[in-house]
Copies of this chain bind each other. A is one copy, B any other.
Amino acid sequence: MRGELTAKGRATRQRIVEGAAAVLRERGAALATLDDIMARTGTSKGQLFHYFPAGKDELLVAVAQFEADQVLEDQQPHLGCLDSWEAWQQWRDVVIERYEAQGDECPLGSLFFQIGRSTPGTRAIVIELLRQWQESLAAGVRALQAAGLIPADVDADIRAAALLAAIQGGVSILLSTGRSTHLRAALDQGIADLRATSHAAV
């Protein structure tokens, strides 16, 4: 038992992270307390500080990483193979469905505002998430070019950046208003405009 963490220990730690994630989604990072997390996960103070010696911040960073991983996973396998208009459409459906189901709970958003500015940890996680997300989208645009569905002179990176911004904006408006109108409009318009490049007179 030199490796610091037994099987039981790993399970408990995981339970804490997942439970904490649920609590944070429900109450928001600003209002969630360690007691909430203890109650939800059926753990004690001793355990929390046993697995996250640096305290709440360390736990929040772990949760942020957990949530960030989820975001991309939830879009697979569609995000990974955007090589036809059908694939793009399926991906669109999954994204909208996911965020409509999430409603006004924003795991990463509230986390970011709680500790993002101060701690470099969460910020780095968010940046890396955005980077991978955009890279996948850019790959999708290039796949369309390779398939001859859109012109080769379309700038894949700019398009991907614009699409990513459109999604982010749609989601934050969904968070504020509770309505997915803008997310839908942004995604649909973004894809339509991409499609329009194939028969533009420019």
Flag the segment in A3-11, A93-101, A182-190 that touches B. A182-190
Size category of the A interface is: 35 or more
Interface readout for A107-130 with B: 1 if CB under 8 Å, 0 if not? Answer: 001101110111000010011001
- Count of identical protomers in the assembly: 2
A65 within 8 Å of B (CB atoms): no
Q: Which residues of B contact A110 (CB under 8 A)?
A: 113
Interface readout for A177-202 with B: 1 if CB under 8 Å, 0 if not? Answer: 10001110110111001001101111
What are 11 inter-chain pairs, A to B, with CB distance below 8 A? A30-B113, A104-B117, A109-B113, A126-B176, A127-B176, A162-B186, A162-B188, A164-B169, A166-B186, A199-B201, A200-B200
